[in-house]
Structure 1
């Protein structure tokens, strides 16, 4: 979906409303009232409730990818001694932000939209096609910035692991155990990929 200037402003209001009140389970009329517009206006810009939710998630995902770039700049200038550790530090910083309980409504919304998109809900066309690719592109750019070997399969594994553990949190998993699982993944990523090289990882995998 191409978001114009007016629809972008409206979308940002919906995102702010989602952060304050949550929109999972709310009707389009309720959301419209909450952001000071009409449901007809939301339909005009986004086509359906599902289309609105997909646009909200797409914007939040973009904000999180922007955050990844900002964190990468911080790590690149941190003086961390090894490339592998730089990558691991970045992964942990991003995980800390994404797994923050304050972001849980957005995480819940993400999986809600994925759930309706797999059934081709109106307004979600193209959502699944952009689910992971933009993250891989941004991660590749970040890896090059940090001087870390680039491999899209390994990056895809990282995205999938993060999303899987976020789903675990939504399902009620112990946050400490989930955090420990992610830290284990980071150590495995560093030891098998960053430190020893992607080709070695593939040959032994």
Structure 2
């Protein structure tokens, strides 16, 4: 996959992140961002526990309510992609999130950039959006801190221009290339790939591919 294709792939995911309320990474209170002494922003009045959309408290253990519905909806998207785009489109993870490492690998091996974007002309985008609406809600502060740790790790591993995420109006704006429209970071470079591998565990499940 070329740098331009990878940029379009990431842009497609970010567009979905912004367009679908379930992926907006908002807090229940929608508080504004504040800065701490350590340089880590925080969300004012952020909820103390993680909750799914139907009110399940995942801090008490067990599978959050709605996760099965999320997985089932994601499988419908996968089935659409297998029928309309490529028969080898990978299964989602058990959590219901797409395995973007495998999706990107398939796109790179086949040269089908549409694999990362819901199919040609958005043939499966509606099912992608249906799944996104059922994504369990998580704590915005934890997601921000995960992305921040990942950004710092990327810089520490040689990708010096990798920017931090930002909290804006209670939502997380992913970091990454400082100029996505005219990329300054090459995701195809050996240094970038090595950094991604070294830092992949910094991102919470479902955030891979977002920055």
Give TM-score scaled by structure 1 length: 0.28
Structure with the higher fraction of residues in helix conformation: 1
Give TM-score scaled by structure 2 length: 0.28
Which protein shows a greater Rg? Answer: 1
